[in-house]
Structure 1
C-alpha cells in the first residue's frame, strides 16, 4: 500500500462489506414501505415507482464514472465521499415533506451509491492479493450483499410497522456516519490497482491520472431517465402520444449519442466498445438485461400484491418475503458448484427456466382468495432459487476472456446493465399492472352495476390481482426469453478452458493510414476509438 499504512486486511474487508450491505439493502428495504410512502406524500400510481427508479437510474448511470473516480482520487477519499453523500441523502429522504423532495434525495442517494459501490470491490481485491485469500474475501463480500438484499423487506416491514416509513431511510444513517469516520482511520490515502498503459492527464508533482468521461456518464443517465419516464407516463399520455414518443425518442437519441461518444470522441471512454466483440461478454450482458427486466421488480410487485390484494400490514409483507429471500440465498450459494458442473451456459439456461416456472406459477395462482402458501411462498421460493442461481454463471460468462487490467471494466458494465434493466423492468411491469388493473376494474364495475352482486371494493381487489398476475406472467416470459438467449448467445463449454475460449480482441495498426489506433498494443492510450481496426 502506498501512503501511510491503514488498518489490516480484516478492517478493510469490514468496511467494504459495510458499504456493499447498505447499498444493496437499499434496493429492497424501500419496497415494503411504498404503500405508506404513497399515502404519506400523495404519490400517484405511476409516480410511486420513481421512489425506486430515481435511485436506480442515478446509480446505474454513474456507476462506471464512480470506478474511474476511485482511480483518480484514491479509495479512501472516494469511499468517504460516496458513503457521505449516500448517508446525507438518506437523511434528507427521511425528512422529505413532499414527493419532489423525496425523489430529489433518492437521485442524490443513487449518485452516492455509484461512487461507493465500485470502491468496495476495489478494496477487497487490493487488500487480499493472494488468490486463495481473495476468493474467500470476495465470497464474504458477496454473501453480505445477499444478506442485505434478503433482509431488506423484513427490516423495512418492521420499521414501517413500528416506527413509520421514514425510518427505512433513517436506519442506516448512524452506520454511514461511523463508516466515514472509520474510513479516514483505516484506509490508506491512495491504493491504485494495476492498469494497462493509458493516456493520462498530468497531476501536480509530475504524476498522471486518468481522464474523466463526465460527458459520457451524464449523457447515458439522461437518456435512461428519458426512456423510463416515457414508459411510466404511457398509461396517462397514450402509447402513441407525442409525450411518450418524444420522451422515449429523445432518450434513445441520447443513448445513441453516448455510443458514438464512446467510440469516437471520448479520450478515455467509460465503455470501450471493443469489449463487446467478445461473445461471452455481449451474450452474458444480453442475458443479464433480460433477467433484470423480469426479476428486479419482484420485491416491489410482491410487496404491493400482498398489501393491496390480501390486506397485509407492512411487517407481514416483509415477513412473507422471507422464504423468497432464503431461497435466493440457497440459490446463490449453490450457483458456483452448479456452474462448475454444468458450465456457465447450461447453468444459466437451467436457472432462468426455473425462475420462469416460478413466475408462471405465481401468475396462474394469484387471486383474492388464494392462500399465501400456495400462491406466494412456493412459487416465490422457486423463482427466488432460480433467479439467484442465474447471476453467477451469467457473471462468469460476461467477465471471461477479458484481460486482467479490464476485469473491473467488464464487471462495471455488467453492474450497469443490471441496474438499468431493473429500472426499465420496474417501469414497464408497473405500467402493465396498472393498465390491466384499470381494464379489469372497469369491466367488473360495469358487471356489478348491472347485476348488483359485486361490491366496488371486491371488484377493485380482484382487478388488482389481475394486474399483478399479468406482471408476474410477463416476468415469466422474460426469463423464458433469457433462457433462450443464453442457449443461443453464450459460448458453448468445451472443457475447463471454455471460459477463455476466445482471446480478447486486440486492436492493431490501421491498414490504410498506417497509424496507431488507440487501444492497440503499441498505442499510448487504452481506449478503443477512432481509425479503422485491424485484425487481432
Structure 2
C-alpha cells in the first residue's frame, strides 16, 4: 500500500519505501525552469556593460554615478544571497521561484522605461533582489529533483554550463541589442525569458506538504545581510576611490564586526541557524567554495578588462566588441559539455585542476596583447583556451559542491556557492581595477595614453592568471579525486548488536533507533510526516532532532534538523 504522505512524484522501491535516488517524472522540467532562471540572473550581470555609454548619454548620468547601474545589482544581489536560499526553504521552492521570476520581470520593465538615473538604479536594485532569490533557488530545485548519482551530476553539469555561458552571452547580447535597437532592450529582453520561466515553473514545481525549514533565523539573516553587503560595498568603494578611502575602511570595519557576531550567533545561539557551519566539515564543500571564490574573481575581472581592451585599445564598437565574445561563449559551452565525460574518466580533481590551469594560460595570453593585436592574432586564441577552461572548472566545481548535499541543505549550499562567487567577483574587480590604474605619471600624448592602458590591462590579466593558478593548486592538493555520488552515509547497524548502533542522547534521557530498514545513507531527506516533538535530542555525528510522543515499543517518527538527521518513514524505538 502506498504511503499517503509520500509525494506521487517520488518513485518507490520494491519494498514500498520512497526511492530518493531516482529523479521525479517532472525532474527535467524542473531543470529547464532552473536553467531559465539562472541564465537570466547571470545575463544581467554583464549585459549592461557595453550599453553603459549609451545609458550615460541618454539619461544624463553624472561621471561618478554610472557605475551604480552595475553596483546596484551586484550589491543587493550579493548581500541577500544567503537569505534568498534559506527563504526559499522556508516558503517552498515553487512559491519562491514564481515570486522571484515575477519580481525580476517587473523590475526589468521599470528599468527599461526609466527616465532618470534614480529610476534605473532602483530598478537594477530590484533585479538584484530577485536575483538573490533565484540564483540559489535554481540550483536548490535541481538538488531536490535529482537526489543523487549520475542523474544529479548531469543535471548540475547542464546548470553550470548555462551559468558559465550566460556571462559571455550577456556581453554579446548587450552589444547586439544596444547597436540594433536601444540600450533599453538590454532590460526588456528579460520579459520573454520571465514569461517562459513562469510557465515552466508553474507546471513543474509542486508545493511541498512540509517546508524544508521550519522558521527563519531572523538575527542571523540580518547579520549576514549586513556583513556581505558591507563587504561588497567596501570592495566597490575600494575599486572606485582606493583601498584607503574612508568609505571603504568603514564598510570593511562594519563587515568584520558583524561577521564575527554572526559566526558567534550561528554557533552558539541560533535554534535553526541560517548557516550550519557543520557543512564545512565536508571537504568537497569548503574546497568548492574556496575555488569558486577565485573563479569568480578571475571571470568577472576577465570579462571586464577584455571588454575594455577591445573598446579602448582596439577601438571596437559595442556591436563588434560583443560579437568578439562569441568564441568565448562557444568555448565555454564546449568545455561544459566535455566536463561530464572527462570527469567520469579522470575524476573531479583532475578535470577541475586542468580547467583552472587552462584558465590561467588563457589569461596569460590575454596579457600578451598590445595595440597592434587583432582579433585573429591576439584575441581569438586566449578566448578559446580560457573559455574551455572556464567550462571545465565551472561544471566540475559545482558538481563537487553539491555532490554530498541532501535536499534540506540545498538552499544553504546553493546560497554559499553563489555568495562565494559573487564576493570573489567583487573582490577580484576591486583588486584588478587598482592594479590596472597603477602607473607612473600622466600621459603626454594619445600614444602614451594608449600604451598606459595596455600596460594596465596587461598587469590585470597577469594577476587574473595568478588567481586561476592559485585555484588550480588548491584543487590539485585538496579536492577529492572523485565527487561523492550522494550524501554521506549514516553509521550502519552493527550485526552483533540486538539494538541499533546509532544511539541518540537527549537532555532528558536517551533512546536508540532500531535498524534503518535498508536506508544506508541520508539520501531520504524529506520527512514523510511531521509531528510535535517531546524534547530535542542530540546524537553522534551532529545529529539533532525531536522524538515524537508515542508509547514505548510502538512506531516513532524521528525528525532531524542537521546534516546527519534520520529521515524517511517512521522507525521503531526500543
So what's the TM-score if we normalise by structure 1? Answer: 0.80
Superposed, 1:333-372 pairs within 5 Å as 333-365=337-369, 367-372=370-375
In the TM superposition, residue 166 of structure 1 has moved relative to its aligned partner by 1.8
Q: Which moved more, 1:372-381 or 1:82-91?
A: 372-381
Superposed, 1:175-190 pairs within 5 Å as 175-177=193-195, 179-180=197-198, 183=201, 186=203, 190=207
Superposed, 1:37-52 pairs within 5 Å as 37-41=55-59, 48-52=66-70
Residue 334 (structure 2) aligns with: 330
Render the CA deviation track for 1:46-92: whole Å, top value 9, x for unaligned: 75544334323322333333333333333332222101111111122
Question: Larger RCO: Structure 1 or Structure 2 (Cα < 8 Å, ≥ 6 residues apart)?
Answer: 1
Residue 199 (structure 1) aligns with: none
Superposed, 1:38-77 pairs within 5 Å as 38-41=56-59, 48-77=66-95
2:252 aligned with 1:234: no
In 2 relative to 1, CA 46–263 (structure 1 residues): closer, same or farther, beyond 3 Å? farther
Render the CA deviation track for 1:113-170: whole Å, top value 9, x for unaligned: 2223344445556666797766665555555445534422222111111222121011
Structure 1 segments unaligned to the other structure (5+ residues):
196-208, 446-454, 529-536
Superposed, 1:356-395 pairs within 5 Å as 356-365=360-369, 367-395=370-398
Residue 124 (structure 2) aligns with: 106
Q: Verify the 8 A CA contact 1:49 1:430 in the aligned structure 2.
A: no
Of 442, 467, 482, the match for 2:456: 467
In 2 relative to 1, CA 257–497 (structure 1 residues): closer, same or farther, beyond 3 Å? closer
Partners of 2:53 and 2:358 in 1: CA distance: 30
Q: Which moved more, 1:16-25 or 1:289-298?
A: 16-25
2:545 aligned with 1:523: yes
In the TM superposition, residue 190 of structure 1 has moved relative to its aligned partner by 0.9
Of 447, 466, 469, the match for 1:477: 466
Residue 186 (structure 2) aligns with: 168
In the TM superposition, residue 110 of structure 1 has moved relative to its aligned partner by 1.3
Residue 444 (structure 1) aligns with: 443
Render the CA deviation track for 1:424-475: whole Å, top value 9, x for unaligned: 2223323332x23xx35x3432xxxxxxxxx3x3333322222222221110
Partners of 1:228 and 1:124 in 2: CA distance: 28
Partners of 1:352 and 1:35 in 2: CA distance: 33
In 2 relative to 1, CA 3–82 (structure 1 residues): closer, same or farther, beyond 3 Å? farther
Q: Verify the 8 A CA contact 2:239 2:433 in the aligned structure 1.
A: no
Partners of 2:72 and 2:490 in 1: CA distance: 35
CA RMSD, aligned part only? 3.8
Q: Which moved more, 1:315-324 or 1:262-271?
A: 262-271
2:292 aligned with 1:288: yes
In the TM superposition, residue 362 of structure 1 has moved relative to its aligned partner by 0.8
Partners of 2:397 and 2:27 in 1: CA distance: 29
2:53 aligned with 1:35: yes
Render the CA deviation track for 1:178-224: whole Å, top value 9, x for unaligned: 6446655x3566136895xxxxxxxxxxxxx6211344334333323
Greater helix share, 1 or 2?
1
In 2 relative to 1, CA 143–360 (structure 1 residues): closer, same or farther, beyond 3 Å? closer
In the TM superposition, residue 32 of structure 1 has moved relative to its aligned partner by 2.3
Partners of 2:192 and 2:395 in 1: CA distance: 32
In the TM superposition, residue 325 of structure 1 has moved relative to its aligned partner by 1.1
In 2 relative to 1, CA 125–47 (structure 1 residues): closer, same or farther, beyond 3 Å? same
Q: Verify the 8 A CA contact 2:235 2:426 in the aligned structure 1.
A: no
Indicate the structure (1 or 2) with the bigger Cα radius of gyration: 2
In the TM superposition, residue 412 of structure 1 has moved relative to its aligned partner by 3.1
Q: Verify the 8 A CA contact 2:42 2:163 in the aligned structure 1.
A: yes
Residue 260 (structure 1) aligns with: 264
2:423 aligned with 1:420: yes
Q: Which moved more, 1:146-155 or 1:247-256?
A: 146-155
Please state whether the residue corresponding to 1:523 is helix, strand or coil.
Answer: strand
Q: Verify the 8 A CA contact 1:74 1:192 in the aligned structure 2.
A: no
Q: Verify the 8 A CA contact 2:52 2:66 in the aligned structure 1.
A: yes
Render the CA deviation track for 1:322-351: whole Å, top value 9, x for unaligned: 111111111111112222333222222222
Residue 18 (structure 1) aligns with: 36
In the TM superposition, residue 18 of structure 1 has moved relative to its aligned partner by 2.6
Structure 2 segments unaligned to the other structure (5+ residues):
1-5, 10-24, 492-501, 511-535, 547-559, 564-574
Residue 272 (structure 1) aligns with: 276
So what's the TM-score if we normalise by structure 2? Answer: 0.75
Of 370, 375, 396, the match for 2:399: 396
In 2 relative to 1, CA 250–137 (structure 1 residues): closer, same or farther, beyond 3 Å? closer
Please state whether the residue corresponding to 2:50 is helix, strand or coil.
Answer: helix
In the TM superposition, residue 479 of structure 1 has moved relative to its aligned partner by 0.9
Partners of 1:246 and 1:133 in 2: CA distance: 47
Render the CA deviation track for 1:277-331: whole Å, top value 9, x for unaligned: 2222212211111121112222222222211222111110110001111111111
Q: Verify the 8 A CA contact 2:160 2:394 in the aligned structure 1.
A: no
In 2 relative to 1, CA 516–32 (structure 1 residues): closer, same or farther, beyond 3 Å? same
Please state whether the residue corresponding to 1:165 is helix, strand or coil.
Answer: coil
Please state whether the residue corresponding to 1:107 is helix, strand or coil.
Answer: helix
2:454 aligned with 1:432: no
In 2 relative to 1, CA 432–213 (structure 1 residues): closer, same or farther, beyond 3 Å? farther
Superposed, 1:246-257 pairs within 5 Å as 246-257=250-261
In 2 relative to 1, CA 377–170 (structure 1 residues): closer, same or farther, beyond 3 Å? same
Please state whether the residue corresponding to 2:392 is helix, strand or coil.
Answer: helix
In 2 relative to 1, CA 40–301 (structure 1 residues): closer, same or farther, beyond 3 Å? farther
